[in-house]
Chain A
Amino acid sequence: MNRRDNSTPTGHHGFRSFGRLVLLVVAVLLMLPVAAAQSNTLRIGYAATPLNTLDPHRASSMTDGNFMSLALETLVLLDADGSPIPHLATSWSVSDDSLTWTFQLREGVTFHDGTLFNAEAVKFSFERLLDPSIGAPARSEFIVISEVEAVDEHTVRFHTLEPYAPFIASLAHYGGNIVSPTAVQADPDGSSVRPVGTGPFVVEQLSSSQASATLARFDDYWGGSAGIERVTVRHFPEEAGATAALLANEVDLMFRLPVSQVPVVDSVPNVNVLTAPAFTTMYLGFNTAKAPFDDPRVRLALSHAIDVEAIHRDVLRGSAIAHAGPIGPSMFGYDPNLTAPGYDPERARELLAEAGVEDLTIHYMVWDVSDLVRMAELIQSQLAQVGVTLDIDVWEFSGFIGATAEGEMDMYYLTWSNSTGDADIALSSQFTCEQVGSRNRSRYCSEEYDALAVAQRSEMAPEARAAKISDALQHLVADAPWVWLGSQEWIVGVNESVEGYEIHPSGNFYIKDVTKR
């Protein structure tokens, strides 16, 4: 045993030993990684479903679409209030019969692989999207396209099966991203991990984890090169881990910060929490094919029995926007005059009595996220006030989406994200008879409503169309297939060193002009 003791500052050589200890600590600290200070790399973390693919023709999740926007571009873009603006297309027009859309394409645009962006590339991308052998999940949003025609190098024409007013907006959907035909033909599956587009950043690799990606600035970007050199994107599967990374300055920006972590992040001086309305609507759906939920009175009664404000306040910590119907304020077709049933337990009891419903027990399905289970418990206590029992059945998400599509539940919670900022996808996919058994989980089916939903699609004049959308929405709100929980907000934690970042309502990353101090 070595008896000389250098490590305690209280020994005979206390002062010298202490000095050595300090030196040692300093030396160790110097050797440690400097966690921050990669000034020209933007380190994005996200706490949502993990990235699966960056191939627009394989993706099925909003998260995939959000990160695709770093590298891939669509013909049109939505501005902050949801109206379409030029992007890879500079202008467009529609024929008199409303069946043909002609687009002028931006000139001088190159793909990351050096090939030229042109009408053929647009044609190729949409034909791949619609190709049955690919089975693109986003295909159903574009099924109205009958033919894509490359008129000349910079003119492309879309022929549609029927007049379809939201066509322009639908082009902003991630399925409408344009990919390099050369790159896809060379390596079709490679597009999942290294998609080649025209955007301001080049995907170097989506890591095998499928949850993180590295991107580098594209110097030949048509809009001028980006303010930052590199972007890293990393998934955080665990809420507290995401917060720790943000607080330890190991990420600059935490996308979709869980609402439960906001108070912690808020208390830290150099990190700001930004919020913005999202195109994502939250709802409680009824299985309208099952008694007694096939009776609109029962659905309205339950809508009156649920205190949406309390859910927003106690579960979502105020991070939600209340509105009636599935269309939020930042989307085309929003109708501020719609009123939700509103919290009124007295009215709920009356309606239940009127419908002759007693001792109602509801089989409620939700998936295993702590906030959602808390929400379920709150709803359970609210419904108990009107004598209704809520039987909470917690699932794992993959099982949940299948079982709810099959209609195994009486009532369920789900969100619905629109990436086009237009009311149509919600109206046509979530409530029409045709979609019962797949997207229309509430199995709502009304011929009258179907006619209204179809009518707005072919109305080309925006104002007239908004009025028709409003008719459809009124019908829905009166019939109450869903309890309208309003829209979600994006919550993003951002380090002060990041300048110029704004949340886009779609969640997409249009961050070419973002810089880092």
Chain B
Amino acid sequence: MAFLVAGYERQGATTITFVLRRLVGALPLLLGITLIAFLIVHFIPGDPAQVVAGPDADAATLELVRTNLGLDRPLHEQYAIFLGRLVQGELGTSFQSRQTVLSEILERYPRSLLLAVAALVIAIGVGIPLGVAAALKHGGWGDTFVSMLAVAGLSIPNFWLALMLIYFFSVQLKLFPTFGLESWKHLVLPALTLSTYTLALVARMTRSSLVEALNQDYTRTARAKGLRPLVVTYKHALKNGLIPTITVAGLSLGNLIGGAVVVETVFNINGLGRLTLQAVLARDVPLVQGSLLFIALNFVVANVLVDVLYGLVNPKIRFS
């Protein structure tokens, strides 16, 4: 990460320049991702034209479909056409649905974002207090309990957890719906399922960095000054110990947005993760390129956000 501690520039202006520079710097990366996506879809077994035409198309129909989709052109030409469109802000049209790739993505994005943010809120809202509790009871039973919880959170497969939650809370107790994302009640179980991994990471990260911070000189100094233990813990130790937690939580946002395939599948939520999966399975080249590009963009933005947050949590950190 290319942020540095530096002088006394005006924070606002530098932040904006910093964000812009980071986004522009990500362009080659994003372009590379479209190329990789393009090559992958073309080189894995399975002919996109055959998938569109269906297993029962005769040879003539297959060739018509191939020509109509432009799949008969040489690969470099197909990619050049894609780039040409991209420059004009177009991502092309889905082979399967005949809708524009952008509209397909934008219809699903709010759902994925909502789910990811809800999961992140749970992860932070529960994970940080758990981590703090564990750090304060360092070595005690509470610490052990939180560690066990964290191991469970990291190792229980989402697939299994989701089905268990559906079984108890939806089928048996009828408290929450089994699928969809139409109201806040629909959000509870999937967000809970999706949050577990990040929650465990956040709890562990908070615990270990807080334990470390509590042993630092500045904490000892604060205590020696006679500050109340609560102030020492929260204002001095935790604030400093939060940097790694922010990194973990922030970087996981990108994952939560594009990588919620299992949760989206079990709870039948048509989000970005499933869109991408379906696009790959259907060899829908424009849709694969578009959605991967979009997911990558989310990662880039999440990274930049994390860097900006560092500055907010610790004003000593400046961008250059």
Which residue numbers of A lie inside 8 Å of B, CB to CB?
A: 29, 32-33, 35, 50, 52-53, 55, 58, 60-61, 132-137, 139-140, 189, 192-193, 206-212, 234-238, 240-241, 244-245, 247-248, 250, 395-403, 405, 414, 416, 429, 435, 437-439
For the complex, give the distance between the alpha carbons of A439 and B57 in Å: 6
Assess A132 versus B64: contact at CB under 8 Å? Given A193-B99, A439-B58.
yes
List 27 A-B pairs, Cβ < 8 Å. A35-B174, A35-B177, A53-B96, A132-B64, A135-B64, A135-B65, A139-B61, A189-B99, A192-B99, A193-B97, A208-B99, A208-B103, A209-B108, A237-B268, A240-B163, A241-B163, A241-B266, A244-B163, A244-B170, A245-B268, A250-B179, A396-B281, A398-B51, A401-B51, A402-B50, A416-B56, A438-B57
In the assembled complex, B248 has its CB within 8 A of some CB on chain A: no
In whole Å, how far is B115's beta carbon from the nearest beta carbon of chain A?
14
Nearest A residue to B48 by beta-carbon distance?
A: A398
In the assembled complex, B157 has its CB within 8 A of some CB on chain A: no
What is the interface residue range for chain B against chain A?
A: 35 or more
State whether B56 touches A395 (Cβ < 8 A): no
State whether A401 touches B50 (Cβ < 8 A): yes
Partner of B54, one of A33, A137, A189: A137
In the assembled complex, B267 has its CB within 8 A of some CB on chain A: yes
In the assembled complex, B221 has its CB within 8 A of some CB on chain A: no
State whether B174 touches A403 (Cβ < 8 A): no
State whether A52 touches B97 (Cβ < 8 A): yes
Assess A133 versus B68: contact at CB under 8 Å? Given A241-B267, A244-B171.
yes
State whether B179 touches A245 (Cβ < 8 A): yes
Assess A207 versus B107: contact at CB under 8 Å? Given A137-B52, A396-B281, A401-B51.
yes
In whole Å, how far is B169's beta carbon from the nearest beta carbon of chain A?
10
Assess A135 versus B68: contact at CB under 8 Å? Given A140-B61, A435-B58.
yes
In whole Å, how far is B226's beta carbon from the nearest beta carbon of chain A?
24
Among B50, B55, B267, residue most surrounded by chain A Cβ atoms (within 10 Å): B55
Chain B residues near A438 (CB-CB < 8 A): 57-59, 62
Within 8 A of A (CB), among B241-277: 265-268, 270, 274-275
State whether B68 touches A237 (Cβ < 8 A): no
For the complex, give the distance between the alpha carbons of A402 and B282 in Å: 12
Chain A residues near B1 (CB-CB < 8 A): none
Chain A residues near B47 (CB-CB < 8 A): 402
Within 8 A of A (CB), among B35-84: 44-47, 50-62, 64-65, 67-68
Assess A137 versus B57: contact at CB under 8 Å? Given A236-B179, A397-B281, A399-B46.
yes
Q: How many A-B residue pairs have CB under 8 A?
A: 161
For the complex, give the distance between the alpha carbons of A234 and B269 in Å: 11
Chain B residues near A192 (CB-CB < 8 A): 97-99
Chain B residues near A238 (CB-CB < 8 A): 265-266, 268
Nearest A residue to B108 by beta-carbon distance?
A: A208
In whole Å, how far is B156's beta carbon from the nearest beta carbon of chain A?
16
In whole Å, how far is B229's beta carbon from the nearest beta carbon of chain A?
15
Partner of A60, one of B52, B167, B180, B185: B52
State whether A402 touches B103 (Cβ < 8 A): no
Chain A residues near B282 (CB-CB < 8 A): 52, 398
For the complex, give the distance between the alpha carbons of A367 and B183 in Å: 37
For the complex, give the distance between the alpha carbons of A43 and B121 in Å: 33
Return the 4 tightest CB-CB contacts between A and B, nearest first.
Answer: A60-B54, A209-B270, A208-B107, A399-B45
State whether B265 touches A237 (Cβ < 8 A): yes
For the complex, give the distance between the alpha carbons of A241 and B165 in Å: 11
In whole Å, how far is A46's beta carbon from the nearest beta carbon of chain B?
12
In the assembled complex, B207 has its CB within 8 A of some CB on chain A: no
In the assembled complex, B178 has its CB within 8 A of some CB on chain A: yes
Chain B residues near A429 (CB-CB < 8 A): 56, 58
In the assembled complex, B318 has its CB within 8 A of some CB on chain A: no
For the complex, give the distance between the alpha carbons of A405 and B57 in Å: 10
Among B47, B57, B283, residue most surrounded by chain A Cβ atoms (within 10 Å): B57
Nearest B residue to A235 by beta-carbon distance?
A: B268
Chain A residues near B46 (CB-CB < 8 A): 396, 398-403
Chain A residues near B52 (CB-CB < 8 A): 60, 137
Besides A248-B178, A402-B51, 15 more A-B contacts (Cβ < 8 Å) are A53-B98, A58-B98, A132-B64, A133-B68, A209-B107, A234-B180, A234-B268, A240-B163, A241-B266, A244-B178, A250-B179, A398-B281, A398-B282, A399-B45, A438-B62
In whole Å, how far is B245's beta carbon from the nearest beta carbon of chain A?
26
Partner of A33, one of B59, B99, B177: B177
Chain A residues near B45 (CB-CB < 8 A): 395, 399, 402-403
For the complex, give the distance between the alpha carbons of A208 and B291 in Å: 14
Question: A-facing mask of B207-234, CB < 8 A → 1, else 0?
Answer: 0000000000000000000000000000
State whether A244 touches B62 (Cβ < 8 A): no
Chain A residues near B108 (CB-CB < 8 A): 208-209
Nearest B residue to A415 by beta-carbon distance?
A: B55
State whether B171 touches A248 (Cβ < 8 A): yes
Within 8 A of A (CB), among B142-185: 163, 166-167, 170-171, 174-180, 183, 185
Assess A399 versus B44: contact at CB under 8 Å? Given A33-B177, A52-B96.
yes
For the complex, give the distance between the alpha carbons of A247 and B68 in Å: 44
State whether A210 touches B178 (Cβ < 8 A): no
Within 8 A of A (CB), among B265-312: 265-268, 270, 274-275, 278, 281-283
State whether B68 touches A207 (Cβ < 8 A): no
In whole Å, how far is A143's beta carbon from the nearest beta carbon of chain B?
8
State whether B97 touches A33 (Cβ < 8 A): no
Chain A residues near B93 (CB-CB < 8 A): 189
State whether A250 touches B177 (Cβ < 8 A): yes
Chain A residues near B96 (CB-CB < 8 A): 52-53, 210
Nearest B residue to A398 by beta-carbon distance?
A: B46
State whether A414 touches B55 (Cβ < 8 A): yes
State whether A401 touches B179 (Cβ < 8 A): no
Chain B residues near A61 (CB-CB < 8 A): 54
For the complex, give the distance between the alpha carbons of A397 and B59 in Å: 19
Partner of B104, one of A208, A396, A414: A208
For the complex, give the distance between the alpha carbons of A55 and B96 in Å: 11
State whether A248 touches B170 (Cβ < 8 A): yes
For the complex, give the distance between the alpha carbons of A402 and B104 in Å: 26
Nearest A residue to B281 by beta-carbon distance?
A: A398
Chain B residues near A403 (CB-CB < 8 A): 45-46
In whole Å, how far is A484's beta carbon from the nearest beta carbon of chain B?
19
For the complex, give the distance between the alpha carbons of A210 and B98 in Å: 10
State whether A140 touches B266 (Cβ < 8 A): no
Chain A residues near B266 (CB-CB < 8 A): 238, 240-241
State whether B270 touches A437 (Cβ < 8 A): no
Chain B residues near A140 (CB-CB < 8 A): 57-58, 60-61
In whole Å, how far is A86's beta carbon from the nearest beta carbon of chain B?
27
Chain A residues near B54 (CB-CB < 8 A): 60-61, 137
In whole Å, how far is B94's beta carbon from the nearest beta carbon of chain A?
8
For the complex, give the distance between the alpha carbons of A29 and B169 in Å: 12
State whether A60 touches B57 (Cβ < 8 A): yes
